[in-house]
Amino acid sequence: MTVEIEFDSSWQEGLVEKITNDGPWGNFELYKLAVEVEKHTVIDNFEGLQAPKHLPNLTPLPHQLEVAKQVVESMNGKAILADEVGLGKTIEAGLILKEYMIRGLVKKVLILVPASLVTQWSYELTSKFYIPAVAQRKSYVWEQCDVVVSSIDTAKRAPHREIILSQDYDLIIIDEAHKLKNNKTKNYEFVQSLKKKFCLLLTATPIQNRVGEIFNLVSLLKPGHLGNESVFNEKYKKDSRDINDNEHLKELVNKVMIRNRRADTGIEWTKRQVETIPIELTKEEQDLYDSVTELRSEGDWTTTSAFSVMTLQREACSSREAVFFTLKNMLEKKENPSKEYQDQITYLIEKVNAVHTNSKAVKALELIQQVNDKVIIFTEYRATQLYLQWYLKQNGISSVPFRGGFKRGKKDWMRQLFENNVQVLIATEAGGEGINLQFCNHIINFDLPWNPMRLEQRIGRIHRLGQEKDVMIYNFATKGTVEEHVLKLLHEKINLFEKVIGDLDDILTRLEFGSFEDHLSDIFGNSTSEGEMRIKMDNLASMIQFAEEVKDGDYRAATGNS
């Protein structure tokens, strides 16, 4: 079979010109140097990694080098990098990018990451990999710079969108790619229409609960690898518990996905020490919680606002400010509220006003003083975040807030302040993703998210490579509330905190389990008695335990990347 051979003809033309004009001719010393350089930089083998030689200040870990090699040599440069949080997916992506650039296979690169990570990515690529990655701030950057880092939200909007779609990219890297699990979204459609030769999708949570989501992710990377949509649905969704079919699916997925677990890396990880801190509510706080809970038994609230009731319950476990904020919203957003509705809200607001201490905040303060080191407090609610910042300040402790909505610059600034100047960082959920805070080893879960993966994301901010101390996790649980039940389930029944991330994820996926959060909502929302609730929680726990046992058997072989 013949191969296309391309000759660079410009040199020939140049030579004729030099001869005609009798020069100017080059200098022999430089001429010899040029040959030396070329002999040095020629890469005479398809296999092997060149990148490490070019990175004297970076010592990649063995599993990171292995990933880079595997992607280039056996996955043809298209892969989902799905290591557990904190194993250095950015380093892996950087190595692969560098390798392709050195070999001259990649020049034009687009890197799409959450807005909060744009600066960090361009900084890391520039400083660790000597790749001039430009954070997109002006629209001319798309065309003028070879390696551009941007958020999807910016990239998909005019005028950027049109410019980007008109270009051919050699490599596209997408961080937090699990956000592209739904193929009906604008983001998905945008990424699908990008022109790309090689592609890396980075995610710590590749399969969140539904097999269909992995189909969408893989189809972005390699359309057809899992068949087309109708075939896929028929094969895997209808009878998703057929082990043979799932084995086959796992095998296929593993051809395009690499997933390292902490345990596989051979790195000695620092320990996680988990402490449950029971919180005794004050009389007024308990009263507020009970009043919110009682709403459930009152007819029209259950049918129309089961979700609100549960939200209010959870908020009552966090702060009165959080409850108040929601109540205010409920009143303002309701069209033509009935008299009863208004009265009910007013009644609850009175209960809010009656609360004067926040028992959790008191405990948090005590703990922070006792720890006498940097501490991150996670809360689900912005109102709680604001309150805590104020409360700590009153007690002589300065803190910085952190939210997903902050602009890049502000996030970087907050992180820096936390590292250098203040003792406490208070983050809401959205801010939990995408910052690395391994210089801190204490986390307070002021309240709990009901999605276990989000909880793992929180811990992953500090329990990652570079963490030198044991990680201390303090879980606050208000006695006699939904929170206590949830914590018990997560901590005692399924050992979530000691477990490595991904395990639970695999289990949930395997069961076609649906969202964890939905299960909890169902249990708390529809149980008519305390007893029923307890039984349902136990059932949930045993289901997970059961799936785990099955998994430990024949299942592991298919998911591991041995």
Partner 1 sequence: MVIIVQQQEIHNFLVKYFTANQCEILVNTGSYITVQLTVELDKELMNRPFYWHYLEKTGGVPNPMKLTLITDQKKAPEDIKGEVIHFGSPRLHQIFHSTKNLAGYIRLYEDHQATMGQQVPLRPWLGMNVKISYQCDRKRDVFRSIGLQLINGQLIENFHDELLKLQLARKIPDYSFTLSPLIMPNSGVTRIQNMIRSNILEEDHSWANDARERWSKDMKLLEHFYEEAEEKGESYENEKRALQEQYEPKVQISIINGGIFYLSEKAI
Which residues lie near partner 1 (CB under 8 A)?
Answer: 1-8, 11-12, 14-16, 18-19, 23, 25-39, 41-47, 53-56, 72-73, 76-77, 98, 103-105, 129-130, 132, 168, 192-198, 219, 222-225, 227-228, 230
Shortest reach from residue 6's CB to partner 1, in Å: 5
Q: Which is nearer to partner 1, 171 or 427 (CB)?
A: 171
Please check whether residue 476 is in contact with residue 314, taking contact to mean a CB–CB distance below 8 angstroms. no
Return d(Cα 191, Cα 113) in angstroms, integer.
Answer: 12
Q: Which is nearer to partner 1, 248 or 272 (CB)?
A: 248
Shortest reach from residue 35's CB to partner 1, in Å: 5
Please check whether residue 385 is in contact with residue 426, taking contact to mean a CB–CB distance below 8 angstroms. yes
Query: Quick check: bond before 449 cis, omega within 30?
Result: no
Shortest reach from residue 13's CB to partner 1, in Å: 9
Q: Which is nearer to partner 1, 39 or 333 (CB)?
A: 39
Return d(Cα 129, Cα 508) in angstroms, integer.
Answer: 37
DSSP labels, 114-134: -GGGHHHHHHHHHHHH---EE
Helical (H) or strand (E) element with 476: strand 471-478
Return d(Cα 525, Cα 510) in angstroms, integer.
Answer: 25
Q: Which is nearer to partner 1, 130 or 439 (CB)?
A: 130
Torsion region of 136: left, alpha or beta (phi above 0 gives left; psi -120 to 50 gives alpha): beta
Shortest reach from residue 224's CB to partner 1, in Å: 3
* Token pair of 315 as six digits: 């908020």
Angstrom distances, CA of residue 248 to CA of 82, 89, 197: 19, 26, 27
Shortest reach from residue 198's CB to partner 1, in Å: 7
Beta-carbon contacts of residue 189 (< 8 Å; ≥ 6 apart): 183
Shortest reach from residue 46's CB to partner 1, in Å: 5
Q: Which is nearer to partner 1, 74 or 394 (CB)?
A: 74
Alpha-helical segments (H) within 150-206: 152-155, 160-165, 186-192
Shortest reach from residue 254's CB to partner 1, in Å: 16
Beta-carbon contacts of residue 27 (< 8 Å; ≥ 6 apart): none
Return d(Cα 557, Cα 226) in angstroms, integer.
Answer: 20
Q: Which is nearer to partner 1, 235 or 382 (CB)?
A: 235
| Torsion sign, CA atoms 389, 393, 396, 398 | positive
Strands 272-279, 133-135: parallel, antiparallel or unpaired by DSSP?
unpaired
Please check whether residue 411 is in contact with residue 283, taking contact to mean a CB–CB distance below 8 angstroms. no
Strands 168-174, 109-112: parallel, antiparallel or unpaired by DSSP?
parallel
Burial level of 372, CB count in 10 A (0-12/13-18/19+)?
A: exposed
Shortest reach from residue 404's CB to partner 1, in Å: 30
Q: Which is nearer to partner 1, 5 or 158 (CB)?
A: 5
Beta-carbon contacts of residue 337 (< 8 Å; ≥ 6 apart): 331, 345
Shortest reach from residue 220's CB to partner 1, in Å: 10
Q: Which is nearer to partner 1, 31 or 347 (CB)?
A: 31
Shortest reach from residue 536's CB to partner 1, in Å: 41
Q: Which is nearer to partner 1, 124 or 503 (CB)?
A: 124
Q: Which is nearer to partner 1, 212 or 452 (CB)?
A: 212
